[in-house]
Each structure stands twice: as C-alpha cells, then as structure tokens.
Chain A
Amino acid sequence: MSSNRALLVHGLGKRYEIGTSRARYQTFRDTLMQAAKNIFSRSSEQEASNKIWALKDISFEVKKGDVVGIIGRNGAGKSTLLKILSKITSPTEGYAEIYGRTGSLLEVGTGFHPELTGRENIYLSGAILGMKKREMDKRFDEIVAFSGVEKFIDTPAKRFSSGMYVRLGFAVAAHLEPEILMVDEVLAVGDAAFQKKCLGKIGNVAKEGRTILFVSHNLGVVANICPKSILLNYGKKEMEGSSSEVINRYIEIGREGCGEGTWESPAVAPGTDKVRLKSVRIVSNGEATTDVDIQKDVLIEVEFWSLKDKNKICTSIQLLDKLGNWVLASANMHSVSLEPDEWFNKECSPGIYKTTCTLPGNFLNEGLYSVNVLLLTDAVHLEVTMNEVISFTVYETGLMRKEFSGAWGGVVRPRLGWRTECLQVESKDQPFERGANQ
C-alpha cells in the first residue's frame, strides 16, 4: 500500500505570532522588556491571542505520479504548506512522510548572484537546489540549450534582461529531476512563449510518472495540468477532489466573503448634507460576491441616501486594476449609459436610492479590480468620493483557454470578432517575388 505513496500529510499545523510572521526578529532590549512584563502579568490568554495558525490540521495523501494543484486565497496557507513540505520551515504540530527525493521551486533563479556569469550561476543555483557537481556537469549543455541564453553564458547575470534571468533560472530548476516536484507560482513570470515551454516541461515531468504539487493563483493553468486539487481556506483544508469541482468551490467561497461595503446610518456614512453613501456591492450570478466568473456580468450596486428635496444626484464609478491603473470610468448620464437611466437629472426627494452599473461578462481580464465610487449633484458638484471602496477578483474558468495557456496580457480581455480571408492564391506561373536572402 505504502509503496505506491509519494506523500502522506497528517494533522499538519503551523503557528505564527500574529502580525510578525515575516519579521519576528527582535532586539535584545525587546526580549528583556518582554521578560520583565511576563514577571508582572502572567497572562496566558494574551499570549494565545497573539498567535495564529497559518495552517491547521491538514491531512492528505498523494500517490506516486499524481499531479496535484493547491489553490486558495492569499494567506490561505498554500505557501506555508509548500515551505513545510520542502523543509524550509518546520511544522508546529503534525507530520509529513515523504517517499523520494524532493525538489522545490519556490522562486525562479534562487541564489543567482548578479556579479557572477551565467555559467557560474548555473552551478551556484544548481548546488543550492541540491544538485551534485557531477550531475550539473552532465546536464550543463542541456540546461543552457533549454534556457536559450547560449550567447550570454559568460556574461555577468546583472547584464541579463529580466527575461533571460528567469529563463536561465527555470532551466536550472527544470533539470533537477526530483521524484517529487513542488512548484509555487513560478509561472507568473516570463513571456508567453517561455511560459508555454515551462508548462510543457511540467507536463512532461508529470508524464514521466513523477509527482507534482503545484501551487498557483492561475485557476486556468491548474485546471489544465492538474487532474486533482486541494483547496485551502484560512489555513484549513476546505476540499480535495477533481480540479473542476475544487475550482467551483473556490469561487463559491468568495461569495460567502461578501463583496459589500455598508454604512449603518447617514450619521456615519461618507458624504455631505445633500447625499450620503449607503452601500456598495458587487453582484454576480444573483449574489453579492468578491469572486466573479470571467464569463458572467458584474453588477456594481451603489445605494445612497438623498437628504434634501429637489436633489439631482448622479452616480459615477471608476474601475482600477490591481496595479492601480485606471481601467475605465462611467456614470449614469444619458449620453454615457447604454440605456437612459430614468433617474438621471431627475429631482429626487429624501429617501434611499439604488443605482446599478453593469459590466459585461467576457470583458475584464482575470485578476483583482477595485472600484471608486463618486456621487455628484447637478452632475458637477462632487459630494462623495470613496476610493477603492470595494474590490473583486475575476477568475477564469477555462474559457478562451483551449489553445493557449500562458499569461494573458492586457487590462481587459474581451472576446472580439475575428475573421480571416484568403485574398489570393499564389499561382505557379506567377510566383510571388521573394526576398533574395530567403
């Protein structure tokens, strides 16, 4: 039974001290102060509240040759799990049994030094990843060929373009040949052609019957290369099963998170004596959510209190991508709206109103977007500006991914019309004039 097993994880947990999980180092003075405090307080509850479980009670089993995706939101514990399994950090409780040589790829170009040449960096990175010098001598040419940076192999890495850097880094890691490969988000880098090459390599590794654990935010890629997936949520295992089911569950969980910003009463809401913002909600598929299927319409619902008579209120939204780039702006003005909004420029009496803006499906690219909401009176006086009041994530579910699985550039990803025609067939009597050096 166990001879077929690659990995057995049992009750694995990892506890960090809250807020300081990345930078828990302290000065000697802190330690002394803490010691002094402990003498006087002796409160253990306080201590307990300062600690959080980044990972709790994780158990699963992976068979030899399985390719398993690990998905989950930021902070769900994916990277912590991978770090424990690759021995970088130790668990607080539980254990994991690993059958076979492991190789982990948490970063491309681990250990590269900018002053060293490509050749020196291959040996350095290889050694750090656990290769013996003999193995590297044997695979050196293969690694260089895969990376495609032959010409620059004796150039210091600091003169490399970032693309070359990444290619060389992945090339080294790709030739590790471990029995169990653990990969974390490394495909988020490099150009489309290279990503395709990387995915192909991972696919080949899988075909050779090796075991892969693959952590990614890119659900499309997980759906493509991993038959099975594990979903982590707030450090716990939420679900394990076929990737398509797990991905659906992942999007469902987002709904429970509720994409909503609400203010209880006009007294606390942002705004002026004319108008105050009541709530902003993202609705998709009929439910308030923060996670949106790329194919579905996204509704931005803005509710506000009108606090005066004869109030002409105009609602405007601005959409930003995760880098803060302005994607678009819109308002319920007649010339802007697809169908005229009857309440635009109409005097409204005190009350609660709701304006909805619809962003079509198959329009935004995948990723995180945030919304600024502006309320104006008489279409010119700005009364409320709430920047990034709400955000949502667009997930791809495999659509538009039949032919291409690399990163899809661009702020938007609309489906557009495409048509190709053959205008003329080359005749044998009158061939095209081709360039001399072809």
Chain B
Amino acid sequence: MSTKNQTVKPSERFHLIQASKGWVLPNVWELWEYRDLLWILTLRDIKVRYKQTFLGCAWAIIQPVTNMIVFSILFGRLMKMPTQGMPYPIFVYSALVPWMFFAHALDASANSIVGSGNLITKVYFPRSVIPIAAIGSGLVDFMVSLLVVFFLMVYYGITPGFQLLAVPFLLFILILIVIGLGSFLSALVVSYRDFRYVIPFLIQLWMYATPVIYTTHLVPQKWKWLVYLNPVAPVIESFRDCFLSQPLNMGMLLISFAEAVLFLLLGINYFAQVEKKFSDVI
C-alpha cells in the first residue's frame, strides 16, 4: 500500500491504496503531520508510568543509585577497579545514568509495536510514531536521575567545565541510535516473538561491552577498536568525561555519530518495508 498525497483542491486529499510493490521510502513527511499524536502518546506513557506509583519519580533515582552502591562496593571497594583517580561512585553513576536511559528506551521501543496491537488493528496512523513515542518516558527518568549526578559533582568537589554543554548532543546521539535500533527490533519482534526474550539478554551483554563499570583505558591498545565498533561506547565515555570535567575524545564521538546516523537510516528503512504487514501478523 503506498499513499500519494496530491492536492486536488485546497481542502481535498487524494489517496491511492494499492498493493505495495518493491522498496518503499520511509514517509517522513507523514510522520511530521502526525507530530501531535507523537507528542500525546509520549505524554500518555509518562503519565501512565507515574500514576498510581507510590514513589512516583523517585523510582528514577532509586534504581541507578542502588546500582551505583552495589557496583561501588563490588568493583570499587573489593576489586579496586582502576578509574584514573576518580572516586568510583561518581565514575560509575555518571555512566550508569545514560546507559540506563539507553537500555530502558531500547527495551520499551522494541516491545512497543507488539504492545500496541489493539491500535494497529483498529486505526491507521504512521506506525513509526509508536517506537519513537516509547522513548519519551525514559527521557523523564533520565532528567530526574541527572539531579543526582550534579549532587555527586558537588559532593566530590568537581568543578563543572564547558564539557557539560555537550550533554544534549550526546543525548541526541543516543536517541538516534535508539530510534534506529528500536524501530528495527520492534518490527522484528512482530514477526519473530523470540526476540522478546533475546532483547533483555542482548542489552545485558551490551552493557559489559560498553565502558560503564570500567574504562576503556583498561582495554589493550590492540583491541580498542573492538570497543569502538560499539557506537554507544564513545557516547557513554563522553558522558562520563563531561561530568568528571575530562577532555572529550571528539574524533571517536564523530565516528559514533556517523554510526548512529547509519543505524537510524537502516532501522527506519527496515521498518518502512515491513510496517504494512503489522496488522495482519500482530
């Protein structure tokens, strides 16, 4: 089914509905037309997430802080993980916050299409709205848990540097990766339900492949390129550098950005090829 919008008269629209043949371009213009829906679905997820939870937004802090405490005891105290002189709690927390955003957003995005089966079989709208909107509620958690980072910076006496200005850009790269990969996985889960069980496992492994609890300085020079094949690694490292006022590795970040754009293009393109089948399969 491909839809061509032509203006017949100013108020009139013409659609042609037909069997899809061959390769389809992702319809970005249509997505833009439905931006209100994107916004309202995002708001819905945020509201539903915090309604009827006793602690509300506090959960966004409790989770990473608990993780931070456990990791600090395990890797900081017991194993004495080298951190280039940084206190382990802030070292691990400043990376955990963006990582947890990435992990939650990716998981939510990947399961979003299957979770919206009742909508997909009853009404038409650009399907790509769903995996994108699923990212929104993770953003609120991210913002809330950032507060603790600033608290830790004060506690450990770290002077904020200009690097902090890069945080929105880093977040932007993460979001690009999540949209690309999340769209891809959400479409895959529709056809192959196995991936529902694979994704949490994959995210778990991915965390160990990403310098969250360790730093890439520990990786031998010979194998470093492996770490950087992972587009999330430089972003997470850079987040940490921002909060610890360390110099950023701009070269790596640009490679990561390029990889993110590639993920985005591949993801939404795959999504566009299979989205027509969702309502028949779901």
Interface on A for B, CB 8 Å cutoff?
A: 16, 21, 24-29, 31, 83-102, 104, 106-107, 110-111, 113, 115-116, 120, 123-124, 127-133, 156, 179
Q: How far is the CB of B124 from chain A (nearest CB, A)?
A: 4
Roughly how many angstroms separate A100 CA and B13 CA in the complex, as a whole number? 5
CB-contact partner of A113 in B14, B44, B280, B282, under 8 A: B44
Binding site for A on B (CB under 8 A): 1, 3, 8, 12-20, 34, 36-37, 39-41, 44, 47-48, 51-52, 118-125, 190-195, 276-277, 279-282
Give the distance to chain B from A169, nearest Cβ to Cβ, in Å: 11
Q: Is the CB–CB distance between A96 and B125 below 8 Å?
A: no
Does more than half of chain B's interface fall in helix, strand or loop, or is it mixed?
mixed
Are A115 and B48 in contact, with the CB atoms below 8 A?
A: yes
Contacts A26-B192, A91-B18; is A115 near B1 (CB within 8 Å)?
no
- Interchain nearest-CB distance for A432 vs B (Å): 53
CB distance from B36 to the nearest CB of A (A): 5
Q: Are A128 and B123 in contact (CB under 8 A)?
A: yes
B279 is contacted by which of A89, A94, A96 (Cβ under 8 Å)?
A89
Q: Is the CB of A31 within 8 A of B192?
A: yes
Can you list 20 residue pairs at the A/B interface with Cβ under 8 Å? Answer: A21-B280, A24-B280, A25-B190, A27-B193, A86-B123, A87-B15, A88-B123, A94-B18, A95-B16, A95-B18, A95-B19, A97-B14, A97-B17, A98-B14, A111-B123, A113-B44, A123-B40, A124-B40, A127-B37, A128-B123
Q: List, in ascending order, chain B residues with CB within 8 A of A29's CB.
A: 194
Query: For B14, what are the chain A residues with a Cβ–Cβ distance below 8 Å?
Result: 97-99
Distance between A317 CB and nearest chain B CB, rounded to angstroms:
40
Known: A83-B279, A111-B119, A115-B48. A26 touches B16 (CB 8 A): no
- CB-CB under 8 A from B276, the residues of chain A are 89-90
Contact A127/B48 with A84-B17, A101-B13 known, Cβ cut-off 8 Å: no
Q: Identify which of A16, A27, A84, A133 contacts B192 (C-beta below 8 A).
A: A27
Chain A residues closer than 8 Å to B125, beta-carbon distance: 128, 130
Interface centre among A26, A90, A106 (most CB of B within 10 A): A90
Within the assembled complex, what's the spacing in Å between the Cα atoms of A91 and B122? 16
With A104-B123, A113-B44, A123-B40 given, is the CB distance from A87 to B19 under 8 Å?
no
Which chain B positions have C-beta within 8 A of A84?
Answer: 1, 17
Instruction: Please judge, given known A-B contacts A104-B124, A110-B119, whether A28 and B48 are in contact too, CB under 8 Å.
Output: no
Instruction: Flag if A116 contacts B44 (CB, 8 Å).
Output: yes
Checking B16, B39, B281 against A97 with a beta-carbon cut-off of 8 angstroms, the contacting residue is B16
Contacts of B279 in A (CB 8 A): 83, 88-89
A102 vs B118: C-alpha distance in the bound complex, in angstroms?
20
Return B137 CB to nearest CB of chain A, in Å: 13
Instruction: Note all chain A residues with C-beta closer than 8 A to B121.
Output: 83, 88
Structural contact, B122 and A110, CB atoms closer than 8 A: yes
Cα–Cα, bound, A131→B39 (Å): 13
Query: A152 CA to B282 CA in the complex, in Å?
Result: 34
Collect the chain A residues with CB atoms within 8 Å of residue B191's CB.
25-26
In the complex, residue of chain B having the shortest beta-carbon distance to the beta carbon of A9? B17
For B122, what are the chain A residues with a Cβ–Cβ distance below 8 Å? 88, 106-107, 110
Known: A96-B17, A97-B16, A115-B52. A87 touches B1 (CB 8 A): yes
- For A130, what are the chain B residues with a Cβ–Cβ distance below 8 Å? 34, 37, 124-125
Min C-beta distance of B181 to chain A, whole Å? 18
Residues of B within 8 A of A101 (CB): 13
Q: A24-B281, A25-B192, A87-B1 are in contact. List 4 more A-B contacts (CB 8 A).
A: A87-B15, A89-B280, A124-B44, A127-B37
Q: How far is the CA of A24 from the CA of B39 in the complex (A)?
A: 31
Q: How distant is A19 from chain B, measured CB to nearest CB, in Å?
A: 13
Q: Cβ of B8: which chain A residues have Cβ within 8 Å of it? A: 99
The 7 closest A-B pairs by CB, nearest first: A90-B1, A95-B18, A87-B124, A127-B37, A96-B17, A127-B40, A98-B15
Q: Report whether B36 and A92 are in contact in the complex, using a CB–CB cutoff of 8 Å.
A: no
